[in-house]
Structure 1
């Protein structure tokens, strides 16, 4: 397999995994690390960038949704969604450090955009959380 094809595949897997669609980027990363496909740091960087951009796509969807439906926490019917939004309102962009948690993290990213949290802080916290998660996966796979 061509070196760039594997990196692009990892990037795409990480991107899709961070949107509202399901994905398995951790398994792809672990496989590539385990087989010595590339340097673990390079693989972690590619997966982190792809996953962060995917999360920011979800953040952007929330931002666009806010233009159509301004946020009214009381109007949110789903209790889990209401708690996620309340947590973000209370703790701010720092909550996005845990945006890597499956399903819950996607909701945090969407809600952060909906709440119009700082783009710069959102990117920073998301990127840090994603990179830390991928670094642990790479370490375990190596």
Structure 2
């Protein structure tokens, strides 16, 4: 499977990043690291990963606005406990909690809660994109620094 994903390069990275922010409990960072280790352009790799992950988060946001319980519970698998945790996090830190939409477990529910609470699209976009860009840029930088050591 790894070879198939690597052979498709940036398309695989986009798809994995998108799915990581929506339907499946998967990570896309490993593929970013693998592509950087085979000398893919780091700026393009970070841009592709960030775009895919942002669009996945945007899908979750729209489901929060327009989706019903079937979509949120059955399709996204976000149970009441996860939504409650994200809602409490959101209440505590406000819209700025969307900067943490890249975190495992609470990230997707934060985007969903952002949609349910009707956070303005521009605010949602700026905060979520900044958080995701920061995460992927940090992973790329750490990978390249670690690669330089060896």
Q: What's the TM-score once normalised by structure 1's chain length?
A: 0.82
Q: Which residue of 2 aligns with 1:73?
A: none
Q: CA deviation at 1:94?
A: 1.3
- Look up the match of 2:19: 16
Tell me what 2:104 maps to. 102
Spell out, residue by residue over 1:89-119, the C-alpha distance to the aligned partner (whole angstroms, 9 max, x if none): 4533211100000121001001110111111
Q: C-alpha separation between the residues in 2 aligned to 1:66 and 1:90? A: 25
Residue 35 of structure 1: how far off its partner (Å): 1.3
Specify every segment of 5 or more residues in structure 2 that has no aligned partner in the other structure, as ranges.
Answer: 71-78, 145-150
Bigger relative contact order, structure 1 or 2 (CA pairs below 8 A, ≥6 apart): 1
Alignment partner, residue 135 of structure 2: 133
Deviation of residue 82 (structure 1)? 2.4
- In structure 1, stretches of 5+ residues that fail to align are 69-76
Give 1:34's aligned residue.
37
- Whether 2:28 is the aligned partner of 1:25: answer yes
> Do the aligned partners of 1:93 and 1:118 also contact (CA within 8 Å) in 2?
no
Aligned length: 132
Is residue 2:140 matched to residue 1:118? Answer: no
Q: What corresponds to 1:72 in structure 2? A: none
| 1:47-86 matches, cutoff 5 A | 47-65=49-67, 78=80, 80-86=82-88
Large movers: runs of 4+ above 6 Å:
none
TM-score normalised to structure 2 length: 0.78
SS at match of 1:7: helix
CA contact (8 A) 2:64 2:116 kept: yes
Once residues 65 and 95 of structure 2 are traced to their aligned partners in structure 1, the CA distance between those partners, rounded to angstroms, is 14
1:2-47: CA deviations, max 9, x gaps? x99311111001000011312221000000011102x111100110
